[in-house]
Structure 1
Amino acid sequence: MRGVLFGLLILLVSNAIGQVKVSGVVVDEQGMPIPFVNVVFVGTTIGTTTNDQGEFQLKKNGGKADVSLSLMGFEERIIPYAKLKGIRLEIVLKENATSLDEVVIVRKPKKRLKKKENPAYRILKEIWKRKKKNGVALVKSYQFQRFSSRELGFGNMDSAFVRKVLRKKYGELKEHLRQNYDNDSYYMPVEFIEKVENVYGSNELNLERVDVEALRETGIHQLGKYVARATNVFKEINVYEDGIPILDKTFVSPIATSGFGSYDYVLSDSTEVAGAKEYTIHFFPRQNGDLVFKGHFKVSAKSYALSAIEMEILKEVNLNFVRDLSIHKTFELKNDSIYLPKSNEYKGEFTFLTKNKTEKSIYLVKRERYSKYLFNRAKSRAFYENPLVQSSKNQFKKEAAYWDDQLVEEEKGTLKLVAKAKTSTKVKRATGTIFTLSDGYFTPITGLQLGNLFTTTARNDIEGVRLRLGFRTFKSNDDRFRLLGFGAFGFKDNKFKYGLEARYLLSTKPRITIGAAYLNDIEQMGFTRFNERDLNPQPDKGPKAVFVRGQNFFLSRVRKSMFRFDVEVFKNFNVGVKLAKERIVSADPKRFSLAFLNERTGQVQHRTTDVYSDIYLSYQPGRQVEGFGVDRVIGPKLHPKVLLNFKRAYRGVLGGNVEYSKLALLYNHPIPFGKFGVLDATLIASKTFGKTPLSVITAVPSNQTYFLTPNTFALLDYYDFVADSSVETHFEHHFNGLLMNRVPLVKQLGLRSLLTFRAVYGTISEKNKRINRSTIRYVAPDKKPYFEYGVGIENIGYGNLRPLRVDFIWRSDFTNVNGPVSPKFGVRVGFKTSF
């Protein structure tokens, strides 16, 4: 026993002796703290930078090493290992006089300087003049190769977890693990994606073509839609743009023309690099909670182009799930005047509950390297307009030797770790849990998923409490075929409802998909005008909810057979046709009638058989998509959408007993306004031609639940307004915390404010009034527009879980003729998980 205790004591002592800990403060010769000093163990990649107060902490396990301290404009200083006694050090750096000719050194003032008093302002003005004419924009045409790697995994994992994942390979692979020395935890990668792309561009034609040359995916890819959105966080980060889109938010660039409204700038020094002078400018947020960065950039004194930029978000920023996020870009000089992208490194850490440094996380590291630049070798317009399209899953597969030439040693080590992690039961269990929490589906057997667990329960006056469970086939996002379905049961009507849909990717160039579906369910007719992708209505869209106001027996029993054909004519522009037959009857004939007069026979009919074709055009410029399969993952980047539908119903075909045409247009455009937030604007217009019964006429979209539903009116009852011609506008302005961040005490809560306004104007024709025999009296908002307006607070919750939104809504007056008068004021709740 004594031997065991003695052995443990020796082990503990040797471990403590082998661990090197250094902490201290770095100051200049006047005793002022110096931020952004690089502090590194010599001969290693283990390092950190000093904070605003010049403080740092550094730690490594095993091995003697000196510490290097360096910052542009100061003499490098080496602290020998013998002087690292574990005490708090005060280290003085001396200014390097040889590199400070014509230097203006400005520390961040306690009092904000006016623009003209700030030496950085002169340099920024020159950057603004030239920022649209830098890099490849200076040549007629260009081409280059871009290598990118994306590492995704778990952060803050203890050694026990890592040992269980790596098992017998732990001793061999532990040297490749990155360690978080702040809390002695590890980063465990579970996915690694490498890609080589050839980029061709023409500034004369304003066209760019990107072809994938090679692609390799290793590890576990199924982590859910929110992780998938997070992996798109670093797409198209262009610091020269005034607004930098990250996730579903827009950050103010540190070199934006409006930057002085969001940042404090400090010109720290100028240096000679390869015979050319460069300035270094540090930037700091004016308000820590705003969507801005902290960091510094280097700029050429000749061309005023950036040669490097490093920036990160502060922990106080009003952004959910994101604990850390940093961006490091470098540029290289070509032809003495053109600064071109050289490398990018992006890092992000995402946590589920809080931003606490000790909480386990999902981390993302993306690296990009640029090479093989060629200029002014123009190609034809047809070449630029016809990029290479993926047509098979293994189309871009390359041999291992190809990738060995592309990867650096650190990336090769990551690949080995991922290859082992993907076989770990512990990792599979963890990723499966994350997927279920994110998407609401779980996988009982490989290839089949059940859910969505978040839409299992609803209630209405016909079915009572309604339970629903769906399924879908799913192996990966590259599935060319997908089968979806659901079953539902109402405990009041004691009837089973179901739906089934199949989708198949028929061709990849052009991209053609086909689909077929059958539905036997309870539906709210007249409110779904645009449904080009999903043939069956989704359970989270519509009037089916647990908490509702008033009575809702205005429901229909629908049996529907459908077929859809869709082709992507060019990127993000789709043309499709849907063919369908719907048999519609009232779900409660005693209280709600859908009867109409058939003027040809003079008989009143209670059943509608609607046989129709629906042709649609969909254009979504700027939309990001991921995946090769029939259902692609949509990225978080904000983009406009235009959707045009033309529906034509045929009497006498397959038993159809109605004949009409309907034209509908939707235009949605989220417009970023920098730090002032995002305006989400929607315009909807529709016109019906021909005699149309209530079952298929367009009603003004109402909402009798206590939950917010997009593009509906919260203070209208179903069928308060019926219009065969109408125009709607829906505006929501989300301030993204701009106002709340400036209210004392409240700003600590991380809340965000918004304003809403919705209006509709419409008419109903006399011919449709004449055939109406339903229990609904037709009234349209034709005398004056009906409108609703409100204020709201979103991002309500705790820690990172802030899905709750509360809107306070008022409405204009109108004459109610169908049922009780709608409320003039209401409080509505929305649930949406956002960053």
Structure 2
Amino acid sequence: MKKLFTIILYKPILLVSFFFAAAQGLYGQTLVHGTITDAKTKETLPFVTVTFVGGKQGASSDNQGKYRLVSNSNYTQIRITYVGFKTEIKSVEPGKEQTINIALTEDRQLLNEVVVKSGKKPKYRNKNNPAVELIRQVIDHKEKNRLESYDYAEYRQYELLNFYLSNLSDKFKNKRIFKNYQFLFREQDSTAIGGKILLPIYMEEKLSQNYYRKSPYAKKQVIEANKQVKYDESFIDNQGLSSYFNRLYQNIDIYDNNIQLVTNQLLSPIADHSPDFYKFFITDTLKDQSPQLIELSFTPRNTNDLLFAGKLYVTMDGNYAVEKAVLTVNKHINLNFVRQMQTILSFEKNGDGKYHLSQSDLKMEFALNKNKGGGMFGERKVIIDSFLMNSPRPKPTYDGPEQVFAANSENKDNHYWEANRPDTLAPEKAGIYKNIDSLQTIASVKRTMDWVTLGLAGYKNFGAFETGPASTFYSFNPVEGFRVRLGGRSTPELSKRYYFETYGAYGTKDERFKYFLSSTYSLNNKSIYSFPQNYIRASFQHDTKIPGQELQFVQEDNFLLSFKRGENDMWLYNNIFRLDYVHEYDNHFSYKVGFKNWGQSPAGALYFQNVIGNNVNNINTVKTTELSLELRYAPHETFYQGKIYRVPIVDRYPIFTLRYNQGVKNFFGGQYNYQNLTGNITKRFYLSQLGYSDVIVEGNYIFGKVPFPLMDIHHANQTYSLQLDSYNLMNFQEFVSDHYASINIDHNFNGFFFNKVPLLKKLKLREIIDFKGLWGGVRSENNPANDPLLLKYPINSTTGLPVTYTLNNGPYMEGSFGIGNIFRLIRVDLVRRFTYLDNPEVSKWGIRARVKFDF
């Protein structure tokens, strides 16, 4: 008999409502109390069910594992039940008060499929399946059982986040560098998540008061106390580390249709269409509970899909609420680097009969190899108490940002934490704060952190200054030949308010020096990369540039971008002075005011020419002066926050950007008057099991008369890397516009189709499609064919054919089909260009690749 599914449970937590039956009898009162612990870890177990055998009286242990059970009846035994642990029965003496402490052992018995002895296994069907009928009742009652069903709610929340290097070998533990630091390691059962030997590397605790209001919608968290491991700021940004770990271990809401896990969304087992993707089985009925519970087990129909496996415990009191959920993922799931995962959600009954989340415990282990070797294990535990419903607070309580830190929240002493933690912190965890400080004193650990920083960030730290990025030290191009560059930036060790960046470069072919200088001053006494930003920056750059290419997250002289297809000999020498002021607000609205003085001189095969009379006139420099204003609104935006960088995390919320540039003639040498208006909307759309789409819509209009270098030179890509924000089969400077509209759709199916193909699903590949469309043109007033004083579009000096075109003959379109997750890092796309195929030196087909670390 084959097992249909296997669910292994670790330390589950079952929350059961208090139910007391008052019965009068001839016997004295029987009072039993004590503490319930995990026999293996010795940790206390909250919300364990304790009942008298043969009766209805029951209770559950509190957050400290303490229970109290009382009855006037003549019971002689108590039953202790806890999902995932073996049921214990203890004898008691009737009519007496007694203390009985209980240590529960885990029950690792695997769930087997229920088989009808007919010689043939029945086919699983949704129709006439009582388990499916039950889950549909849960789905129908979702809205009335979630937090959002209340007009107002508030509660107190405690969070504990731990991270460890996991599954370490005895050889690693016994290395000479740890000879005097054996106290750092934590031993546990080798069958548990994380393996036998753990090395703590991070810990964080939070105590907060939380407020919810339905209309107008508001959700606010006031963090009253926050405590975390602190690393040497020379290597690690502690705020960024906290943001990253909290991003990996987010809150899980079982009532959401899709649940965020790491960077993916998994379909909830109680999503609207979950019976189409899950198999459900009724595996137990807990009749000695009040209310009675049904144990509902579930497993994916396709084990490679982004789905959970586990159990739900559903109340049979008419609410059809989830009182407990145990979620895991199987080893075949198309989820990178996740070796094991388990989350346990417990819910508590309110006075109105509804349920709210009272505790969650999420454990995950990450590793390069899912079957063996070391990894990283993390656990996030959340306890919610003091839940209050429909008690409105004054309006200012709900105003302001979603998360605020109370004054002195990071300065609470140990006495405060001991008095306010809702759960006792195990001694081995309480010592982590001190132990990490000891770990950082090891010289070899410091050296390792230094080299890891260089390898990942590309910078070598020298205290107040760091040099890099290493990928730009050497590159080459047709104009400069071999290019060497050396630069760096200041660090918060020098100052959190002042920030400097510089580099110098030299080309062996053009024999010219290039350089960049930048100085930034923070106006809010925070790092300029910390949210919310408020700074002023001045910079000057004298360097080369490909027209129309402005790479945001990759240095333009990155060595890997030196390799390009086709001709690439039209460049610019730029002199750019910028002065910018940036101000972000807590609601994620920001504005940027700028001044830019820009001189562009042609380099390589590029030239600036117009016609005066019958004579061709060479222009050495096009100079402009711009005043700019940028408005940006990014609701709920979060970042991967580094020490001196931050990267926005793509989420389902849209980002709106509006930019206005005003060219001013005769101001600091500016030669043109014009206005440039650009609007941009970016959003990720999650489509459940069909993956997600990243969509960018943009429009632009230039008012005024300008030469082609001041138009929008559309972002092209002649490298062999796949660039999502560029047109990958468009040549540099191929198209210019003074007005345009564009759409960019990149859809990742997350392996939805490949997971159904037997030969492909083991490779865990992911299919991707991409489409880019660009509609634009040049008005007659800006067409050099109509005005000889305007700069002529460049012509290839060898072939005599035009290099630059307009989009007046229709849109530019390209699309691609990609295969992602190759070796869990590489995406390769086959790109097809659909329009303007008659332009010279263009490619109809191309193969592009990019490296992306993805879960």
User: For the superposition of Structure 1 and Structure 2, which TM-score range results when normalised by the shorter chain?
Assistant: 0.7 to 0.9
| Partner residue, 2:794 | 775
Matched, 1:758 2:779: no
Question: Partner of 1:545: helix, strand, or coil?
Answer: helix
- For the Cα contact (< 8 Å) 1:165–1:421, is it kept in 2? no
* Residue in structure 2 matched with residue 330 of structure 1 by the alignment: 346
Paired residue type of 1:825: W
**What is aligned with 2:363?**
347
Q: 1:552 aligns with which of 568, 572, 577?
A: 568
Contact 1:457 1:546 in 2 (8 A): no
Does residue 852 of structure 2 align to residue 832 of structure 1?
yes
Rounded Cα–Cα distance in structure 1 between residues aligned with 2:647 and 2:391: 35
Contact kept, 8 Å, 2:8 with 2:110, in 1: the verdict is no
Query: Are residues 624 and 373 of structure 1, via their aligned partners in 2, closer, same or farther at CA, if it must alter by over 3 Å?
Result: same
Residue 499 of structure 2 is matched in structure 1 by 482
Q: Deviations over 1:77-125 (max 9, x none)?
A: 79xxxxxxxxxxx999999xxxxxxxx9899996552223322212211
Superposed displacement of residue 202, structure 1: 1.0
Matched with 2:634 is 620
User: Displacement, 1:620?
Assistant: 1.8
Structure 2 SS opposite 1:403: helix
Q: 1:683 to 1:375 in 2, by over 3 A?
A: same
2:509 to 476, 492, 510: 492
Q: Is the CA contact 1:323–1:350 (under 8 Å) kept in the aligned structure 2? A: yes
Separation in 1 of the partners of 2:408 and 2:177? 28
After superposition, what is the alpha-carbon deviation per residue over 1:47-72, rounded to whole angstroms, capped at 9, x for unaligned? Answer: 9xxxxxxxxxxxxxxxxxxxx99776
Pairs within 5 Å for 1:448-467? 448-467=465-484
Q: What residue in structure 1 maps to residue 98 of structure 2? A: none
Could you tell me how far apart the structure 2 residues matched to 1:683 and 1:184 are?
A: 47
**Which of these residues, 190, 213, 232, is aligned with residue 202 of structure 1?**
213
In the alignment, which residue of structure 1 is the partner of 2:48?
Answer: none
- Whether 1:441 and 2:451 are equivalent positions in the alignment is no
What is the correspondence of 1:321-720 to structure 2 with a 5 Å cutoff?
A: 321-351=337-367, 353-357=368-372, 359-387=373-401, 396-405=410-419, 406=421, 408-410=424-426, 411-443=429-461, 445-475=462-492, 479-507=496-524, 511-528=533-550, 538-539=554-555, 545-588=561-604, 591-595=605-609, 605-625=619-639, 631-632=645-646, 634-635=648-649, 637-720=651-734
Question: 2:821, 2:827 within 8 Å by CA — same for their partners in 1?
Answer: yes
Q: Tell whether the 8 Å contact from 2:467 to 2:489 is kept in structure 1 after alignment.
A: yes
The CA distance in 2 between the partners of 1:735 and 1:256, in whole Å, is: 19
Partner in structure 2 of residue 180 of structure 1: 190
Q: Secondary structure at the match of 1:132?
A: helix
Letter of the 1:492 counterpart: K
**Partner residue of 1:58?**
none
The aligned residue for residue 785 of structure 1 is: 811
* Partner Cα distance (2:745, 2:381) in 1: 38
Residue 379 of structure 1 deviates from its aligned partner by 2.7
Once residues 153 and 321 of structure 1 are traced to their aligned partners in structure 2, the CA distance between those partners, rounded to angstroms, is 15
1:611 deviates by 1.1
Q: Does 1:296 align with 2:314?
A: no
Q: TM-score, normalised by structure 1?
A: 0.81
Q: CA deviation at 1:169?
A: 5.6
CA–CA separation in structure 1 for the residues paired with 2:601 and 2:4: 80
Distance 1:122 1:91, change over 3 A: closer
1:156 aligns with 2:156: no
Q: 1:487 to 1:158 in 2, by over 3 A?
A: farther
Q: Deviation string for 1:606-626 (max 9, x for gaps)?
A: 311221122111122232246
SS at match of 1:559: strand
- Paired with 1:543 and 1:329, the residues of 2 have a C-alpha distance of 49
* 1:393-435 deviation digits (Å, cap 9, x = unpaired): 9663212211223262323143343343233334434444444
| Aligned-partner Cα distance in 1 for 2:375–2:83 | 34
* Structure 2: runs of 5 or more not aligned: 13-36, 44-78, 90-106, 796-801
Whether contact under 8 Å (2:7, 2:310) holds in the other structure is: no
Quote the residue 1:250 is aligned against: 265
2:250 aligned residue: 235
Partners in 2 of 1:360 and 1:345 — Cα distance? 22
Structure 1 residue 370 displacement after superposition:
1.2
Write the letter of the residue equivalent to 1:812.
F
Structure 1 pair 342–227 and aligned structure 2 pair: CA distance change class (3 A)? closer
In the superposition, relative to structure 1, how do residues 639 and 466 fare at CA in structure 2: closer, same or farther (>3 Å)? farther
Is contact 2:700–2:739 with CA below 8 Å preserved after alignment?
Answer: yes
C-alpha displacement of 1:736? 0.8
Q: Distance in 1 between matches of 2:493 and 2:762?
A: 41
1:439 is matched by which residue type in structure 2?
A
Distance 2:5 2:592 in 1: 64
Specify the code of the residue in structure 2 equivalent to 1:304: Y
- Over 3 Å counting, the alpha-carbon distance change for 1:455 and 1:720 in structure 2 is same
1:550-596 CA-to-partner distances (Å, cap 9, x unmatched) read 111221111111122122244222111121111110122xx211345
Q: CA deviation at 1:650?
A: 0.9
Partner of 1:81: none
1:733 counterpart residue number: 747
Conserved 8 A contact 1:137-1:203:
yes
Distance in 2 of aligned mates of 1:237 and 1:804: 29
- Are the equivalent residues in 2 in contact too, given 1:155–1:362 (CA < 8 A)? yes
Q: Where in structure 2 are the equivalents of 1:58-137 lying within 5 Å? A: 76=87, 112-137=123-148
8 Å contact from structure 1 (residues 199, 208) kept in 2 = yes
State the alpha-carbon separation in 2 of the partners of residues 325 and 33 from structure 1: 16
Q: Which amino acid aligns with 1:732?
A: D
Report the secondary structure of 1:115's partner residue.
Answer: coil
- Aligned partner of residue 265 in structure 1, secondary structure: strand
In the other structure, the counterpart of 1:87 is none
Query: Partners in 1 of 2:355 and 2:115 — Cα distance?
Result: 27
Contact 1:193–1:215 (8 Å) recurs in 2 = yes
Q: Deviations over 1:137-194 (max 9, x none)?
A: 23321221211122123112234544666654636x66x5445357974111122111
TM-score (norm 2): 0.79
Following the alignment from structure 2 to structure 1, what is the Cα–Cα distance between the partners of residues 109 and 537? 70
- 1:604 and 1:33 mapped to 2: Cα distance? 76
Aligned to 1:606, the other structure's residue is in SS state coil
Q: Report the 3-state secondary structure (helix = DSSP H, G, I; strand = E; otherwise coil) of the residue aligned with 1:232.
A: helix
Q: Match for 1:239: what amino acid?
A: I
* TM-fit CA distance, 1:470: 4.2
Q: Confirm or deny: 8 A CA contact 2:476 2:562 kept in the other structure.
A: yes
* 1:648 partner amino acid: Q
User: In 2 relative to 1, CA 654–34 (structure 1 residues): closer, same or farther, beyond 3 Å?
Assistant: closer
How much does 1:512 deviate? 2.1
Indicate if the aligned counterparts of 2:502 and 2:518 stay in contact, CA closer than 8 A: yes
What's 1:283 paired with?
Answer: 298
CA distance in 2, matches of 1:284, 1:212: 38
Aligned to 2:799: none
Give, as a single letter, the amino acid of the residue that structure 2 aligns with 1:212.
I
Q: Which residue does the alignment assign to 2:280?
A: 265
How far apart are residue 219 of structure 1 and its match? Answer: 3.8
Change in CA separation of 1:467 and 1:629 when aligned onto 2, cut-off 3 Å: closer
Q: Give the aligned partner of residue 56 of structure 1.
A: none
Distance 1:816 1:745, change over 3 A: closer
Deviations 1:13-54 (A, max 9, x none): xxxxxxxxxxxxxx9xxx99996577999733289xxxxxxx
Q: Paired residue for 2:19?
A: none
For the aligned residue pairs, the C-alpha RMSD in angstroms reads: 3.9
How many Å separate the matches in 2 of 1:627 and 1:211? 21
